[in-house]
């Protein structure tokens, strides 16, 4: 990593493959989101004409599953877009809360990490209260 004027930044040779990977993941997630939407019986109007309780329950379960998975996919897409923006702004690898460098081992495991481990723990603790 290069340091200049107390600013930490990764070299372009490190960031380029990360950007390519994240864009590829974003594309896959968008495809998954579209497929999940096509499976939702409430969105397409592909509801079963069988008016039995079992059919209604099955449709509701499939709708709930599809909705939950789409929400998770949407969160992942947002995280990727935020990460790509942080890279553009030269803030990738810098904790959004305390401004310290995020451990590279953490970034290797979770490319979209926005907070250092200490700040993430504080955030989780605050959420659980």
For the chain, the domains span 7-92, 93-129
The pLDDT, as a whole number, for residue 5 is 42
Within 10-126, strands assigned E span: none
The pLDDT, as a whole number, for residue 96 is 94
pLDDT category at 4 given cuts 50, 70, 90 is: very low
> Long-range contacts made by residues 61-66, C-beta under 8 angstroms, separation at least 24?
66/36, 66/37, 66/39, 66/40
Cβ atoms of 113 and 106 within 8 Å: the answer is: yes
The pLDDT, as a whole number, for residue 8 is 65
Mean pLDDT of the chain: 87
pLDDT digits (tens, 9 = 90+) for 43-94: 766 555 666 777 778 788 888 888 999 999 999 999 999 999 999 999 999 9
Interacting residues of 118 by C-beta distance below 8 A, sequence separation 6+: 98
The pLDDT, as a whole number, for residue 48 is 56
């Amino acid at each position: 990593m290069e340091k200049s004027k107390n600013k930490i930044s990764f070299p372009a040779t490190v960031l380029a493959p990360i950007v390519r990977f994240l864009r590829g993941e974003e594309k896959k997630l968008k495809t998954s989101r579209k497929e999940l939407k096509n499976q939702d019986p409430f969105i397409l109007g592909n509801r079963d004409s069988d008016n039995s309780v079992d059919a209604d329950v099955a449709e509701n379960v499939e709708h709930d599953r599809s909705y939950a998975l789409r929400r998770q996919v949407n969160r992942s897409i947002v995280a990727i877009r935020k990460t790509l923006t942080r890279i553009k702004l030269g803030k990738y690898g810098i904790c959004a809360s305390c401004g310290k460098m995020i451990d590279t081992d953490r970034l290797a495991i979770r490319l979209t990490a926005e907070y250092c481990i200490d700040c993430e723990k504080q955030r989780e603790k605050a959420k659980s209260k």
